[in-house]
Structure 1
Amino acid sequence: MRFVLVPGAGGAGWYWHRLVPELERRGHSAVAVDIREDDPDLGLPEYSDITLAAIGDDRDDLVLVGQSMGGFTVPMVAARVPVRMIVLLNAMVPLPGETPGAWWEATGQPEARLAADEAAGRGTDFDEVTHFLHDVPDDVAASGASEQRGPSDTPFGQPCEFERWPDVPIHVLAGADDRFFPVEFQRRVARERLGLEADVMPGGHLVALSRPAELADRLASYLDA
């Protein structure tokens, strides 16, 4: 099986660098998509084009994995190429035609994060270390400092252009320790938007960096099922 790994906001393919060898050790191939999401000339349609270009001509047995904001790219790609399976990993789950900018209020993510932070006794202002890197090994986080880039404003006002989710297995996989998209928030969104129960594994928002072997096992288990 060939895993197509679509990164979250910023589009750094580096995010997947610990997961790719784990998938290969399990007999699969993987392509880590890199998207210059800091380029204001690029938006959701271009993200889809770049992902398709990364896939290339070999389009058999594809599994799309979308991390965080990559959840907006995945259904647009799936509308253009046949896929065997979709995995939404700590992902934004869009409705057809929804924009990333509208998603936050529509799903109630800001309120869910604030409530989780208050319940845990954390500060309520967003902090990259607190909300993204809290369970990522220090050496891994340090090695990725030069890879970080923020997304431009361009995609946030663009609709996610797909008519419906494809009729293939779709799995919502949530990190139990995700502080940005709290697990109960992800469970609710999965039920409301996909009619699915989210699966939960240990790890925070950046689980491909913090627990790559466990994530590879979980992805492989979906194929076995």
Structure 2
Amino acid sequence: MATFALIHGGGGSGWDWHLVAGRLRQLGHEAVAPDLPIENPKATLPDFADTVVSAIGPARDVVVVGHSYGGFTAPLVAARVKARLLVFAAGMVPAPGERPREWWDHVGFSSPDGLSTVEQFLHDVPPELVKENVRRGRDQVSAEYDQPWPADALPDLPTRVLLFRDDRFFPADLQRRVARERLGSTADELDGSHLALLSRPDELAERLVSYL
């Protein structure tokens, strides 16, 4: 039995992972998905990592999954708990010393034009889940955005990049290139929007378990 530490993206909450976590438990594993302290203007990436490590507790067989902006926190957690596996799920793969605000230009991100928030992130999510996701959205006012990523390197442990083919925010071509340039690896692929956590939770959970 593994424990999956599920890290939400910018402006999100642990609720974003609730369907995936439920399926992981059905498959015989544990899952934790804490709310990061993004509403605290003094909180930093190490504070985010502290929150996740605390939620993991004494578990030893840990898989750390970072969604979107959670990719800046996930490697810090994985290194601290000596994780079995690190997964970037439509995740931002950081570089040593890189400020989160710099990542976008460094990887050649181009913001999609003319799309609403729902069209960018949630276009295949059931309407009732879209409504709840929007209701649970939080203002990210924490301090980390202009602070250098604090590790000297990504952790030396098995790592996967899982992109979502229908993602309009982080398109598949961008994620393939980031995986190749930053990890020297080929990204795995799954259908779904940026919030495939909510549109394809069973498929996502089963893919994560398959990595074991």
| TM-score, length of structure 2 as denominator length | 0.95
The Cα of 1:143 is off from its aligned counterpart by 2.3
- Unmatched segments (≥5 aa) in structure 1: 115-123
Which 4+ runs in 1 deviate beyond 4 A?
none
Aligned counterparts of 1:172 and 1:23: Cα–Cα separation in 2: 19
Aligned counterparts of 1:187 and 1:145: Cα–Cα separation in 2: 28
In the other structure, the counterpart of 1:24 is: 25
Equivalences, count: 211
In the other structure, the counterpart of 2:200 is: 211
In the other structure, the counterpart of 1:50 is: 51
The Cα of 1:11 is off from its aligned counterpart by 4.2
Letter of the aligned partner of 2:143 in structure 1?
Answer: T
Percent identity reads 46
Aligned counterparts of 2:116 and 2:44: Cα–Cα separation in 1: 25
CA contact (8 A) 2:42 2:142 kept: no
The Cα of 1:150 is off from its aligned counterpart by 2.7
The Cα of 1:78 is off from its aligned counterpart by 2.3
Aligned counterparts of 1:126 and 1:108: Cα–Cα separation in 2: 19
Aligned counterparts of 2:146 and 2:59: Cα–Cα separation in 1: 30
Q: CA RMSD in A?
A: 1.3
In the other structure, the counterpart of 1:193 is: 182
Residues 75-224 of structure 1: matches in 2 within 5 Å?
75-110=75-110, 113-114=111-112, 124-152=113-141, 154-223=143-212
CA contact (8 A) 1:177 1:205 kept: yes
In the other structure, the counterpart of 1:118 is: none
The Cα of 1:153 is off from its aligned counterpart by 5.5
The Cα of 1:145 is off from its aligned counterpart by 3.0
The Cα of 1:148 is off from its aligned counterpart by 0.6
The Cα of 1:86 is off from its aligned counterpart by 0.5
Letter of the aligned partner of 1:203 in structure 2?
Answer: G
For residues 119-153 of structure 1, what are the alpha-carbon distances to aligned partners after superposition, in whole Å with 9 as ceiling and x for unaligned? xxxxx145211101101110111223321113126
Aligned counterparts of 1:99 and 1:79: Cα–Cα separation in 2: 19
| TM-score, length of structure 1 as denominator length | 0.90
CA contact (8 A) 2:71 2:94 kept: yes
The alignment partner of 2:169 has SS state of coil
Residues 49-68 of structure 1: matches in 2 within 5 Å?
49-56=50-57, 58-68=58-68
Aligned counterparts of 1:155 and 1:126: Cα–Cα separation in 2: 27
The Cα of 1:51 is off from its aligned counterpart by 1.1
Aligned counterparts of 2:115 and 2:92: Cα–Cα separation in 1: 17
Q: 1:153 to 1:104 in 2, by over 3 A?
A: farther
- Unmatched segments (≥5 aa) in structure 2: none
CA contact (8 A) 1:79 1:162 kept: no
Letter of the aligned partner of 1:135 in structure 2?
Answer: D
Greater Cα shift, 149-158 or 174-183: 149-158
The Cα of 1:218 is off from its aligned counterpart by 0.5
For residues 81-101 of structure 1, what are the alpha-carbon distances to aligned partners after superposition, in whole Å with 9 as ceiling and x for unaligned? 210001100001101111100
